[in-house]
Chains A and B, each alone.
Chain A
Amino acid sequence: MWVRLWRDPVWRAVFFQVLLILGVVAVVAWVINNTLTNLEHRGISTGFDFLSQSAGFGIIQTLVEYDESQSFGRTFLVGLLNTLLVSFLGVIFATILGFLIGVARLSSNWLLARLASTYIEIFRNIPLLLQIFFWYFAVLGVLPSPRQSINFFDAIFLNVRGISLPWPILDSGMEIVVWAGIASLVLAMGVAGLCRNYRRTKGRPLPHIKVIIASVIIGLPLLTAWLTNAHLQWEMPVLRGFNFSGGLVILPELAALWFALSIYTAAFIAEVVRSGIESVSKGQKEAAAALGLKPRRVLSLVVIPQAMRVIIPPLTNQYLNLIKNSSLATAIGYPDLVSVFAGTTLNQTGQAVEVIAMTMAVYLTISLTVSVLMNLYNRWVSLVER
């Protein structure tokens, strides 16, 4: 009887799975039990109460209001926003650089193609952490002190404490202008849609369309500014006391991380772009050229749109890698999630389990959300395929 059951694949599968569940439950229970005993034995407190306690330490860059008297929970938010900031900046810069180099890699100009592939081979084969250190300690760390700043037009100052830039002041007058700018963009998109429709139905483009769109985008805000008599005012960085104050300051930690992440990821994106472009069959390019399209238009109208379908999934992967790699911030003290929350907060509270679990959950959520979106996109792309 038992032998027969054992030989039956269905029963055997059930048996194995039950065994696996029991095994996993046993291991998890063992780990939890050990952890609880250890925590109790060592007198470490547990739970998430610490999140509402006062943090008591300062953070150098905060996108939301924060001071020492606020809670550890707030440090979580501050760190998360800083992670998102550097990831966002990195993604944009890496995409631009990666596309340029990927296209350059396939250029018919031998020298350009060679330099692009040299770039790729150098930067993707050196650990990112080393590149971050290089930028932070060897490049940005040897800049002059604030009083001897490198000065561009008395407006931009470069020193060892970062880059100080002028920053526009948004008073009530300017706010309207900003809104007008947004409105003009929306309007321009509408116009662009209209003329695309026109071209599709009439078979020829609307005359002077570029001029119309450009004048909408530039003209409307200017007109509003003139009507409301608003002047754009800039807050200039000024050397006051020890440091520059006013304006926008890009910290060297942020800059080093941003450069290193972008340059490193761009090497991978370039390879993604290259294989995407190579996936478009040669016949397509030749056909487009035969129709009389110039090389640049062949690239932008025929090759890139088709390549995008191949490029986007691995590109998203690179974006995810960039976000995860931004956690290396902790090595140079840029206040990201890992540095502030899984670093300082963990140290001040000692509650390793809770803090690390929360940190991992954040990255996991980002990754899973993006891969769900990616799957949706893939389904969408395969639907429009004819």
Chain B
Amino acid sequence: MIRKLKKWVAPALLLAAAGAQAETSSTTLETVLSKGYLSCGVNTGLPGFATPDEKGQWSGMDVDVCRGVAAAVLGDAGKVKYIPLTAKERFTALQSGEIDMLSRNTTWTLTRDASLGLNFAGVSYYDGQGFLVKKELGVTSAKQLDGAAVCIQSGTTTELNLADYFRSNGMKYQPVVFDTSDGTAKGFDSGRCDVLTSDQSQLYALRLRLSKPDQAVVLPEIISKEPLGPLVRQGDDQWFNIVKWSLFAMINAEELGLTSANIDKSKSSTDPSVRRFLGIEGPKGKGMGLKDNWAYQVVKQVGNYGEIFERNIGESSPLKIERGLNAQWSQGGILYAPPFR
């Protein structure tokens, strides 16, 4: 019977295997190089951070981090396969090897660093949790929200912060949970809840999704620290370094004044830090298994941190978020990348 059973089952298995890709147990860098593209987990749709347009082209802050890594590793920022993930799926997708890195507005916390088998490769955006309310309520501070119904995305740190905040202020609330951030916006718009809470950057993005965006305001309070950044699997230090330094390259480039427009000219620069950045002298790329001009590729194809910020979420985008904490350390922010040396 077993033999017969095998006869029946074998075609079914073959069929399943057609959709399964066998991967050899090599390092992530080798896998990416041999595939010829980077698999990057992103949000299913969050304006300014990761959204597909009508033709399926992705753009946003998180997407540009993926593109930066692809530029550094493959020399082509376009060679990225974007895997849209919900908040629930994101960690398993990375753990299971479905994606090479996760760049999906994910908050860096102790638990996630220590017990998920993942590593945060840096901070791409310093965020904090805030509240969005309708103007007509006349609320000016989060302290006046006692008894409110709060729309929230389930399975996020936001959910825990919210509970902490209301409890420590002796207030009550009704949590109305949704699976997606779109869902929370819809719930807020329909009046199912009084308050929408999320990372502040998301609040600005979600406000654009309301039927009357100008009728809602973001409250001044920030109730948590939300450093967002890309993640990789633990146990592959080389890949960890690549993702970490691709991000640092963008930040350093802004500090050095290198942009996608002027980086070609700066090849003749005599500034030693610029020359080290471009891989003309100094540590170069060998230590990470990359080409020497990897940092040049990142800036040339994707841009420096300032450019990315500006085009996706800054003043020239519909979101119009201020640099704030995300300015360079020399400009009053806390962006501070280690030097290329």
Contacts and interface: CB of A to CB of B under 8 A. Distances in A.
A and B touch in the complex (CB under 8 A): yes
Interface in B153-167: 154-156, 159-160, 162-164, 166-167
A44 B154 CA distance: 21
A242 B2 contact: no
A287 B312 CA distance: 81
B237 interface: no
Interface in B134-192: 137, 145-149, 154-156, 159-160, 162-164, 166-167, 173-179, 183, 186, 190-192
B155 A347 contact: yes
Contact of A241 (B2, B147, B164, B233): B147
The prevalent SS among residues of B at the interface is mixed
Interface centre among A20, A344, A346 (most CB of B within 10 A): A344
Contacts of A38: 95-96
Contacts of A161: 149, 191-192
Contacts of A350: 91, 115-116
Contacts of B225: none
A19 to B, nearest CB: 5
Interface in A310-359: 330-331, 333, 335, 339, 343-344, 346-348, 350, 352
A45 B115 contact: yes
Interface centre among B145, B173, B175, B235 (most CB of A within 10 A): B175
A42 B163 contact: no
Interface pairs A-B: 8 shortest CB-CB = A347-B155, A43-B117, A42-B117, A68-B163, A58-B175, A241-B147, A145-B191, A42-B95
A348 B155 contact: yes
Contacts of A126: none
Given A20-B1, A160-B192, A243-B149, A57 B91 contact: no
Interface string B37-77: 00000000000000000000000000000000000000000
A242 B192 contact: no
B209 interface: no
Given A330-B179, A335-B177, 16 more contacts: A20-B1, A20-B2, A41-B235, A42-B117, A43-B115, A57-B159, A161-B149, A161-B191, A242-B149, A252-B192, A344-B155, A344-B177, A347-B88, A347-B156, A348-B159, A350-B115
Contacts of A19: 1-2
B149 A41 contact: no
Contacts of B173: 58
Contact of B190 (A67, A142, A241, A335): A142
Interface residues of B, number: 44
Interface string A36-74: 001001111100000000001111100000011100000
B140 to A, nearest CB: 15
A42 B114 CA distance: 11
B192 A243 contact: no
A59 B115 CA distance: 25
B87 interface: yes
B92 interface: yes
B115 A44 contact: yes
Contact of B116 (A42, A57, A67, A145): A42
B146 A16 contact: no
A116 to B, nearest CB: 34
Contact of B147 (A137, A243, A346): A243
Contacts of A23: 2
Contacts of A346: 88, 155
B273 interface: no
A60 B175 contact: yes
A366 to B, nearest CB: 24
Interface centre among B96, B137, B159, B162 (most CB of A within 10 A): B159
A25 B175 CA distance: 45
Contacts of A160: 190-192
B293 interface: no
B176 A60 contact: yes
A352 B92 contact: yes
Contacts of B31: none
A16 B2 contact: yes
Given A44-B95, A57-B159, A160-B190, A333 B178 contact: yes
Interface centre among A137, A141, A242 (most CB of B within 10 A): A242
Contacts of A69: 167
Interface in A217-243: 240-243
A242 B178 contact: no
Nearest to A40: B117
